[in-house]
Amino acid sequence: MSNVKISSRARRYLVIGVSVYVFEILVIQVAQALGAGAVAAVGLSFWLGLGLSFVLQKTVTFGDTRLHHRVLVPQVGAFSLLVLFNFGFTLFMAWLLKNVLPAFVIRTLALAITTIWNFYLYKTRIFKNSDEPAVY
């Protein structure tokens, strides 16, 4: 078996992602215990996890503490577009698989898929430091 080297940034991204995932699963369980259906529970967990994830990924994973409006407004705009796409994808997965899989499995599957393209877009577009070379 070969040794796969994972950058410290990728490790931070994954640790934060797993932590937010656990938080989201707890939200799903609580929401369903309070009577929410699968789609509503997944949707709620998505939005709550999203806020936590944005702050932690921006500041901890990518070390981006810039808050100037010329940096933050485009980041929030790009992030918002990605969020809308991810949210639609997540709800589509919940709708498609609601009679086949439990809600937490659906969210896990959607999260695994979106994690891959999110890391790439965060690194190369959204939280890219101007000192870093562009990757297209």
- Reported as a single tens digit per residue, the pLDDT across 58-71 is 899 999 888 888 88
Which of 9-23, 31-45, 64-78, 85-99 bottoms out in mean pLDDT, i.e. has the lowest?
A: 64-78
| Residue 31, domain member (yes or no) | yes
| Residue 135, domain member (yes or no) | no
**List of residues 6+ apart from 60 with CB closer than 8 A:** 12, 16
| Residue 39, domain member (yes or no) | yes
| Residue 28, domain member (yes or no) | yes
| Residue 79, domain member (yes or no) | yes
| Residue 1, domain member (yes or no) | no
Q: For residue 20, what are the domain limits?
A: 8-126
End-to-end CA distance of the chain: 31
What pLDDT band is residue 134 in, cutting at 50, 70 and 90?
very low
What pLDDT band is residue 115 in, cutting at 50, 70 and 90?
confident
How many structural domains compose the chain? 1
| Residue 60, domain member (yes or no) | yes
Residue 1 has pLDDT above 60, yes or no: no
- pLDDT confidence of residue 131: 55
- pLDDT confidence of residue 50: 82
| Residue 136, domain member (yes or no) | no
Residue 94 has pLDDT above 80, yes or no: yes
DSSP letter for 20, please.
H
Across the range 94-122, mean pLDDT stands at 92
The percent of residues above 90 in pLDDT, for the chain, comes to 51
**List of residues 6+ apart from 54 with CB closer than 8 A:** 79
